[in-house]
A and B are shown apart, each in its own frame.
Chain A
């Protein structure tokens, strides 16, 4: 029963996240969705990931969003979208229905096991390559942000002078 509540809550939060007019409200609904997903992950028997998702997804990313929205500012758009809403509904609807047919067809019995010991072992032995990849990713992210944000010191005038 709790599962159903969490699932419905999560879906509602994400729907509101994309329907919100102001970007800041959108980011807050996204934080809510992240928190509920973290709860769900905990109930599925993955407590370590749940904690990480809570702190990163609901915490770090939300702070980043608020930061960026403050700098970039809000904006409203007029005019037609490149893809009209009905068309988008149709495309997404077909794809998701087909995916559902594929996945929900064979009914898998739910064997929800509790948390097994050895998460650390799995991470550091079997999937140690993943950890290296994550380190590389983080470095890339840091370098990217540094590169992107350092341009703020040389305003775009310089770029246009090169023509």
Chain B
């Protein structure tokens, strides 16, 4: 069986994106949201490296992916510290219950 590798990886990217978006839509726990973001960003990163590989410019792809990793780590760090603070100040991590800034 000659399975096209690129198609495989593209299916992975699509799958990760789908799972990430779905999780963002139905999560109610703030920390789950951070997990969903991580999955989403992994999908994007694989796509970047794949694009770099296909077009022959592997190293550009890698540099962009490096930037993405750094950004995504910082997002995780700050998201988690926010979650900790929210838990301390409001007593809950439920997104639906965090209504202080809403009308």
Taking a contact as CB atoms under 8 Å apart, the answer to whether B66 and A113 are in contact is no
Q: Which residues of B contact A72 (CB under 8 A)?
A: 31, 83-84, 87, 93
On whether the beta carbons of A81 and B26 are closer than 8 Å, the reply is yes
B interface residues with partner A (beta carbon < 8 Å): 3-12, 14-23, 25-29, 31-32, 34-36, 38-39, 42, 45-46, 49-50, 52-54, 56, 58-67, 69-71, 73-74, 76-78, 80-85, 87-89, 92-94, 96
Chain A: minimal CB distance from B10 (Å): 6
Looking at the assembled complex, report how far the CB atom of A15 sits from the nearest CB atom of chain B, in whole angstroms. Answer: 6
Query: Looking at chain B's contact residues, is the secondary structure mostly helix, strand, loop, or mixed?
Result: helix
A44-B9, A44-B50 in contact; A68/B93 too (CB < 8 A)? no
B41 to chain A minimum Cβ distance, whole angstroms, is: 9
Q: Which residues of chain A come closer than 8 Å to B93, judged between CB atoms?
A: 72, 75
Binding site for B on A (CB under 8 A): 1, 3-4, 7, 10-11, 14-15, 17-18, 23, 26-27, 30, 33-34, 37, 40-41, 44-46, 48-49, 52-53, 56-57, 60-61, 64-65, 67-69, 71-73, 75, 77, 79, 81-83, 85, 88-89, 91-93, 95-96, 99-100, 103-104, 107-113, 115-116, 118-119, 121-123, 126-127, 130, 133-134, 137-138, 140-141, 144-145, 148-149, 151-152, 156, 159
